[in-house]
Chains A and B, each alone.
Chain A
Amino acid sequence: AQSVTQPDIHITVSEGASLELRCNYSYGATPYLFWYVQSPGQGLQLLLKYFSGDTLVQGIKGFEAEFKRSQSSFNLRKPSVHWSDAAEYFCAVEETNTGNQFYFGTGTSLTVIP
């Protein structure tokens, strides 16, 4: 069975500081990987995705993520956090052998302090 682990339930950073959110997955093959963001009362919005190729992917709002096969990780980063980045962040994995089946982590809640 697939699993997606986000070890940090909650992270607090100062505005302007750098950010890294961790994500590890358990999957036999190379999956498709995603990061989604959810603001309170809203649906999930895609930040970025990795299918193949360059392991460093750029997303919207200045986010990037790096796929590391050896560590089964897909950590999300941002060099300088803005107050509007406060939200819930979800890492997701899509099975590539059965197709179209997504698994989500439990999320990391980000608080940004002035």
Chain B
Amino acid sequence: EAGVVQSPRYKIIEKKQPVAFWCNPISGHNTLYWYLQNLGQGPELLIRYENEEAVDDSQLPKDRFSAERLKGVDSTLKIQPAELGDSAVYLCASRNPNTGELFFGEGSRLTVL
């Protein structure tokens, strides 16, 4: 079984530039999460999808962050424009509906210069 796939693994951009991250969850996992992880911290939820519907985006900074999950499978997280404080790891996870377990991708590490 393929795991959660994220790309790119690493991204370096200058502030005010846009950036996008892509996530392909495990097949059959209807619930998808985007988390932000700062250095030395635990994951913090940005947005949660149930199929194609964003059911919890209360922590997503909507002035610069956006996300979509077309067709309820792959998801994209976008930041425009990026700020220095956005430097972090962006984790995608999907939830096994039978076991309740979250499966994480390896993350996308963003550095904003």
- Determine if B100 and A104 form an interchain contact, defined as CB atoms under 8 angstroms apart: no
| Contact A44 B40, beta carbon cutoff 8 Å | no
Beyond the given A100-B95, A104-B43, could you list 16 further A-B residue pairs with CB under 8 A, ordered by the A residue number?
A9-B40, A41-B106, A43-B4, A90-B42, A92-B102, A100-B48, A100-B50, A101-B56, A102-B33, A102-B45, A102-B102, A103-B45, A106-B40, A106-B42, A107-B42, A109-B40
B100 contacts A43, CB within 8 Å? no
Binding site for A on B (CB under 8 A): 4, 31, 33, 40-45, 48, 50, 56, 91, 93, 95, 99-107
Q: Which residue of A lies closest to B96 (CB)?
A: A46
Contact B104 A51 (CB under 8 A): no
Q: Which of A90, A103, A104 is the most central at the interface, judged by chain B CB atoms within 10 Å of its CB?
A: A104
Hey, which chain A residues are within 8 Å of B40, CB to CB? 9, 106-107, 109
The residue on B at minimum CB distance from A46 is B101
* Cβ contacts A to B, 9 pairs, < 8 Å: A43-B105, A44-B43, A44-B93, A46-B102, A94-B100, A100-B50, A101-B56, A104-B42, A106-B40
Residue in B45, B91, B100 whose beta carbon sits within 8 Å of that of A44 in the complex: B91
Separation of A5 and B7 alpha carbons in the complex (Å): 31
Taking CB atoms, residues of chain A closer than 8 Å to B48 are 100-101
Residues in B whose Cβ lies below 8 Å from that of A44 = 43, 91, 93, 102, 104
CB distance A45 to B102 under 8 Å?
A: no
Do A100 and B31 contact each other (CB < 8 Å), given the known contacts A32-B100, A44-B91?
yes
Chain B residues near A41: list those with CB within 8 A: 106
